[in-house]
Amino acid sequence: MTEPITIDVWSDIACPWCYIGKRNLENGLAAVSGDDDAPEVRVTYHSFELSPDTPVDFAGSGADFLARHKGISLGQAREMNERVTAVAAQAGLDYHMDDVQHTNTVKAHELLHFAKEHGRQHELAERLMSAYFTEGRHVGREDDLVDLAGEAGLDPDAAREALRSGRYLDAVRADQQQAVAYGITGVPFFVIDGTYGVSGAQPAEAFTQITRQVWAERAGAGSAPSDDAESAPVA
């Protein structure tokens, strides 16, 4: 029996392109699920902090944060938010960037590792990103994270204990160290079968193509993924 294709995804809860990439990946995989020889795929999310120095409670709007973080004008920041909102809509996501509450995401990443241990990582990743980008909810404070964990099907008391213990912080740091080893400097970043790196929020069709090609390669009937998917060997 052929082993599943592994897709390891480095992303940050506070990255708008990561949620778009997540949805495009899901839609791309859905397109291959009806194939006669449908690939089996196992997706795992890994931690990456885009702005680890962000305070838990940032005083300002989403545009304020972007302007300060990138050193651009407030007008340019608003234009960037409008652009990403339009791209998100194409992926079926309803972003509300003016309502985003910027925060430090390390605790959210710790919670994702807790969720992985309990078989609910995908559910929690979706819940966190939806809460952040579409609902304007806070994803950096303990009480808010515990509530979201419960909404994702996790035990709230166990989630709170996991956050207070800090025992998943080492797993977060290990993900970040692996990202450095791979040469990952921006997210989302997808590692296909531990071999091919795909950078950025690629369209769904790119994920469909590369999955089919890797599956065919496994069967000895195909070649390496084409450049259309913007893939490259991982160091």
pLDDT digit string, tens, across residues 110-152: 999 999 999 999 999 999 999 999 999 999 999 999 999 999 9
Instruction: Classify domain 5-51+106-233 at the CATH topology level.
Output: Glutaredoxin (3.40.30)
CA distance readout (Å), 23 to 28, 125, 135, 203, 233: 8, 11, 17, 9, 23
Nearest in space to 214 (alpha carbons), one of 36, 45, 4: 4
For 173-194, the pLDDT digits (tens) are: 999 999 999 999 999 999 999 9
43 in Cβ contact with 81 (< 8 Å): no
DSSP per-residue string spanning 90-148: HTT----GGG------HHHHHHHHHHHHTT-HHHHHHHHHHHHHTS----SSHHHHHHH
* Residue 222's pLDDT band (cuts 50, 70, 90): very low
Domain ranges of the chain: 5-51+106-233
pTM above 0.85, yes or no: yes
The pLDDT of residue 167 is 98
For 72-111, the pLDDT digits (tens) are: 999 999 999 999 999 999 999 999 999 999 999 999 999 9
For 37-66, the pLDDT digits (tens) are: 999 999 999 999 999 999 999 999 989 999
Percent of the chain clearing pLDDT 70 (strictly above): 93
Residue 227 has pLDDT above 80, yes or no: no
